Structure 1
Amino acid sequence: MIRRRQIISATSLAIAAPTFSFAQSKNAAEVAVDAAKKYSGTEISIVWEAGLQSLDPLMYSGPKWEKLTGIKVKVVEVPTDQMFTKIMQDFRAKAGAYDALNVIPSWMPDLVKAGALEPLDSFVDKFGYRDELQDIAPAYRDNQMKVDDKIYGFPDDGDVMLLYYRKDIFEDPKMMAEFKAKMGYELAPPKTWKQFSEIGKFITEKMAPKTYGAGFFRAAPYPQYMFQERFRTEGGKFFDAGTMKSTVNSDVGVRVLQEMLAENTFMPPGVEQWNFVDNLANFLQGTTAMTISWPPYGRWAAGYGTNEEAMKWVPKTQVAGKVGYALPPLGRPELGVGFALSVASTSKKKEAAYLFLQWLNSKQTSLERVQLPYTLRDPFRTSHYASAEYRKLWPDAGAYLDIIKLSGERGLLDLSLLQQDKYDEAMSKGLSSLWGGTEPKAVANNLAATFDAITEKVGVVRQKEMYAAWTKKPGSYPAK
């Protein structure tokens, strides 16, 4: 998740036996460990997102893998907005500095077309991992694992946007009665953006400045994921499929920008500058009654794991036991960012790197990792959602896992084209200009022009093919 780069400073702490023989007696984690022991005494490198996320291989999985296999793991921390560039630079230089990679799924087609990622199917079959991959939730397995029907990465992070709301406010009898009398419907998690605005305004009028109706992160690059989701759920399309001319400046696009800007008026002053941590702090301290973010907010709002040394940067929650979980308005949340585990095509230790990834991603090890409070890896397997162990972590953990599961089933994919990072950057800059005072129509027109320029540079025909392939995926646009 790009969100982690905001918290880097706060976390600077500390040829094998046939496949069938593995499958008959051992799980995927055990198979990987046994096969990897022949590489004992060597070192592999893995690119990981700088910040909290890197504490997984630095403090937990890396040391554990070395103890189990004798293979040392060198963690190369890179800020998220530099990861794509660093991976491509290493590939083009044929330097072989990286063995394993964390890849944002929307980048995967671009990296595969360039030749930077190693296809994994032969390893998957050699080490008996194909069956266990079926446990990865379909939203991630079917959309974030393959390019042209070949496996290039193991989905490893269940990123999805969730709505968090204050149950004590929404279920307060006085608030419920007054809201019903004024608006004519029940006070409940909003099903539409119109309801979101009406509920947010009502709570702000009643409770501000102690509590405002809502708060969002507005600082780049976070809002672009919310724009991607909302633009599509309200009926927008990014491009004309025939010409590849951008249509983000359609009436839908302009209206969405207008609505997003208007919502700031019932949020706390200065919300236009809020980053991931600002938004989290205000929600945990009770300043906002609703917010939308990734799954870690739900864990931290409950107080889970926040007594860990690495979590001292998280404000002490004032809302534990008072937070409900729901789908965002219109019910098709963004599967924002996420990570997949891949092998670098230039690696000289591909099999050793692959075995580490199979072990990391396995049912057994991944369940341990998604329960680590400090690493920001979110549940992504059906077995994670059903885990009795996870469901006991705090009183509402079962409801939390249920909404993550449902959100994944209904989730929308991030736009994924050649040079996707350029389109993402354009959306981030456009939204920053919106908060800065540029009129919504002008923002939409500028964004469409930038999209068109990027498409022309990539090549209209090439990009049209990529867009056509992306739109065939079930999570590209909401079904009619």
Structure 2
Amino acid sequence: MKSILIARRAFLASAAGAVAILAGSVPAAAQSAADRAVEAAKQYSGTTINVLYEAGLQPLDPKTFTGPLWEELTGIKVNVIESPLPEIFTKTMQAHRAGSGAYDVLNVVPNQMPDLALAGVLEPLDDFVEKYGFADELQMIAPVYRDNQMKVEGKIYGFPDDGDTLILYYRKDLFEDPETMAEFKARYGYDLGPPQTWEQFGEIGQFMTDKYAPEVYGAGLLRQPGNAQYMFQERFRTEGGKFFDEETMKATVNSEAGLKVFNQMLEENKWMPAGVEQWGFIEAFNAFLAGDIAMTVSWPPVGRWAAGYGKGTEALSWIPETKVADKIGYALPPGNNPELAVGFSLSVASGSKNKEAAYLFIQWMNSEDISIQRVQLPFALRDPFRDSHFTSEEYRSRWSNADEYLDTLKAGAESGLLDLSLLQTDRYEEGIRQAISRLWGGDDPQTILDDLVGQWDELTERIGAEKQRRVYVDWASKPNAYPN
């Protein structure tokens, strides 16, 4: 914990300088959104707000950085309540239905926002945004997050606060080896580089395995069904697939695109390490750090941790020694439309007894001044989501090719694909997870997809096709629901 506290003190010092206000010395018009939030929040000094956060590393932000600093600046105490990610939606709904007022600030997975907003769980934020002058800074959030993860049917229900996107990491030393490049060009007729299509991914991966295995395999991907379902969502749309017929709301995942993706995934497993079907985040991450695979696709923390960022921080002591720190290349995944898998938006619970204090806290956290510091906390998992995060000279100097990392995340923040968002989205996603489990179990791919369609159609009818269509059409109309 000592190293975390040292890091926190350094960040606190810079943060305090960014937001400290000498009473009466700064005209209101010149104040930043962070300044305004601090000043307004002082009237609630002595209040405690309850913040629901995903358990694990995420809460180290409000526990060791933003929470203590907010209390120092405003007198408002932040009580962090942790929950495993799969339980957050259920706990949020239960608290609302019980009228318990258990939570003030909510971390909302963006594709669950329509469900929560239409159920009345989330407080509309438009009036607060206008009152405290946050609209201009909201426009500085990267468009893919701002235009897709903030509103439901035209109203603001959350501030995009986490730039989750699945990008490609690869071994530059292997890809740029002259002998390897020449052999690959002779075999396939094009230059070796980050794959632009999933066909190229298969060819490059097979080539690398043939040349380097068992020391190094061509790739290792997220194959555990809970993670792999995001990869399926991305690849299905990259191949031209649509989830539903917009007029009838009949599922169409058993199309030619769905079958192609399932068959490609099966073929890829043949040249990946044995047991890859059970790989989740940790297995793929550890294999990449060890230099055992030439490529992987995963969340942004892989890119900075593999480069050694945060080394020596007690909270990251579980991360093995990286053997690829100076060998990492960053690129968009094949198809150039990365999945914006999971992510978080900051919202206010409609049942909160401290709505204004809760709002002011999330405006301050999400602001230009404070968010740039939060996304650089090595242990807190908040990924860049504002234009200023990608261009920050400080962040771009954190390791030798941090600029390439941030440029790739910025590109992903322009072309990334939204997670499917529906009423009871978790039930539709569970169908994909079960389908992938059956795929790894040896069932026929077309039969699996046909069964998935039947399952989805039954669920849609149970929810109400017109109710579901309203939500789906709103989601599908957003710029990043499907590739342009």
TM-score bracket, normalised by the shorter chain, equals over 0.9
In the TM superposition, residue 469 of structure 1 has moved relative to its aligned partner by 1.4
1:93 to 90, 98, 108: 98
* Paired residue type of 1:321: D
Which amino acid is the alignment partner of residue 198 of structure 2?
Answer: W
Find 2:238's aligned residue among 222, 230, 233.
233
Supply the AA of the counterpart residue of 2:260.
R
Find the aligned partners of 1:209 and 1:308 in 2 and give their Cα distance. 33
CA deviations on 1:268-309 (whole Å, 9 max, x unpaired) are 111111111111000010000000011111101110002100
The residue that corresponds to 2:307 in the other structure is 302
Secondary structure class of the residue paired with 1:53: coil
Would you say the 8 A contact 1:22–1:31 is kept in 2? no
Which shows bigger deviation, 82-91 or 215-224?
215-224
1:374 deviation in Å?
Answer: 0.6
Q: 8 Å contact 2:49–2:354 — kept in the other structure? A: yes
Match of residue 144, structure 1, among 149, 173, 177: 149
Q: Contact between 2:229 and 2:429, CA under 8 Å: does it hold in 1? A: yes
Name the structure 2 match of 1:345.
350
Which residue of structure 2 aligns with residue 113 of structure 1?
A: 118
**Alignment check: 8 A CA contact 1:158 1:380 kept:** yes
Q: Which residue of 1 aligns with 2:195?
A: 190
1:358 equivalent to 2:363? Answer yes
Residue from 191, 194, 199 that aligns with 2:204: 199
Deviation, structure 1 residue 335:
1.1
Query: Could you tell me which of 432, 435, 442 is aligned with 1:430?
Result: 435
Residue 363 of structure 2 is aligned to residue 368 of structure 1: no
Does residue 52 of structure 2 align to residue 47 of structure 1? Answer: yes
Deviation at 1:23, TM superposition (A): 5.0
- Is residue 216 of structure 2 the alignment partner of residue 216 of structure 1? no
Residue by residue, what CA displacement relative to the aligned partner does 1:394-424 show, whole Å, maximum 9, x if unpaired? 0101111111001110111111111111111
- 1:22 deviates by 7.1
Runs in 1 of length 4+ with deviation above 6 angstroms?
none
3-state DSSP class of the match of 2:377?
Answer: coil
How many equivalent pairs are there?
460
- CA distance in structure 1 between the aligned counterparts of 2:279 and 2:371, rounded to whole angstroms: 32
1:358: Cα distance to partner? 0.6
CA distance in 2: counterparts of 1:203 and 1:433, whole angstroms: 28
Q: Give the residue type in structure 2 aligned to 1:443.
A: I
Alpha-carbon deviations, 1:247-287, whole Å to 9, x = none?
11112111111111111111111111111111100001000
Residues 169 and 289, structure 1, Cα contact 8 Å, conserved in 2:
yes
The question of 1:104 aligning with 2:109 is answered: yes
1:135 partner SS: coil
CA distance in 2, matches of 1:225, 1:274: 14
Indicate if the aligned counterparts of 2:153 and 2:474 stay in contact, CA closer than 8 A. no
Q: What amino acid does structure 2 have at the position aligned with 1:285?
A: A
Choose from 58, 64, 84 the match for 2:63: 58
- Give the aligned partner of residue 407 of structure 1: 412
CA RMSD of aligned residues (A): 1.2
* Aligned partner (choices 52, 56, 74) of residue 79 of structure 2: 74
Distance 2:320 2:441 in 1: 28
Asked if 1:454 is matched to 2:459, the reply is: yes
The superposition leaves residues 347-376 of structure 1 with CA deviations (integer Å, 9 ceiling, x where unpaired) of 000001001101110011100000011111
Q: State the partner residue of 1:445.
A: 450
Please, what TM-score do these two structures have when normalized by structure 2? 0.94
Which structure 2 residues correspond to residues 308-319 of structure 1 after superposition, within 5 A? 308-319=313-324
